[in-house]
Amino acid sequence: MSSQPLNLPQRPRRLRRTETLRKMVRETTLSVDDLIYPMFVMEGEEEKVEIASMPGCYRYSLDLLLEEIAEVSRLGINAVALFPVIPENQKDDTGTESYNPEGLIQETVKAIKKAVPEILIITDVALDPFTTHGHDGLVDENGKILNDQTLEVLVKMALSQAEAGTDFVAPSDMMDGRIGAIRTALDAEGYINVGILAYSAKYASAYYGPFRDALDSAPKFGDKKTYQMDAANAKEALKEIELDIAEGADIIMVKPALAYLDIICQVKAATNLPVAAYDVSGEYAMIKAAAQYGWIDEKKVILETLTSMKRAGADLILTYFAKEVALMLM
């Protein structure tokens, strides 16, 4: 004997009844157009070295990097973010290699523009890959990070990247005033169309470990807490993005993403600029490790994780999963 149905005024489950219905009313959609692929480039030829703490991610010599970028472009990924692996003999205390017009990043940008001109290139502006001490700024004899002196080097670095042909410079150093200094210098030299993707809310996070392994850029002393943000702070993030916007940023970013979805949401509500989120190396490594043990459905967790970033308000996502996601979404 069947019971009579309750006379409920609303039944939300009606819209979940079939996959077609669920797709029709879906509030957040992840697209390949949302993705930026971070990539590591190193010197040499015919070299592709897997990063132990980031399974499936590699350091590429330029020749193989170009092949990979061509494949990435065919998959519909529109942008790559470049990070250089600098040999120890090219590092010094002041990061002079960072603005070498014939340096690794500069030559890589030129080669990509020639080989795959349609891809958008984003280049990192920070000193840690280029310095012997592994910090993002110049350091005095007492170990203090020097803000204003660092800006002079960052400006040289950004200008050299612009001259090479980058589309966006991405200051990730968290020095005060660097967006304004770089924007002023770019405009003065005629690079008015080179954009700035600002790491506006970059936290002093424990999630960066695998990335530092990839670049061998961990600080040799101390930590980065005097310039990267305290993980407990939210209002400070809004102050940082307000300053970066006033100084000329075109896109603002929150890094990391997964543990800072609340920050992404607040930042999105506070600005009309595009908001990027960086799905960082530690987030990537945790999913990969759990998948290797068979504890999770890797593909479903990847899509759910990136969708959460979109749902929080991210317009763009830098993610090492970009190529895998592009294949899933085809």
Pure H helices in the chain = 19-24, 62-74, 104-115, 147-164, 178-188, 209-215, 235-247, 261-270, 281-292, 298-312, 322-329
Residues 6+ apart with CB under 8 A from 266: 234, 237, 238
Say which DSSP state 32 is in.
G
Distance CA(265)–CA(258), nearest Å, equals 12
- Check 91, 224, 255, 323 and give the catalytic one: 255
113 a catalytic residue: no
Distance CA(85)–CA(232), nearest Å, equals 31
The verdict on whether omega for the bond into residue 256 sits within 30 degrees of 0, i.e. cis, is yes
Look at residue 42 and give its three-state secondary structure: strand
- Check 48, 91, 156, 202 and give the catalytic one: 202
- Which positions are annotated as active-site residues? 202, 255
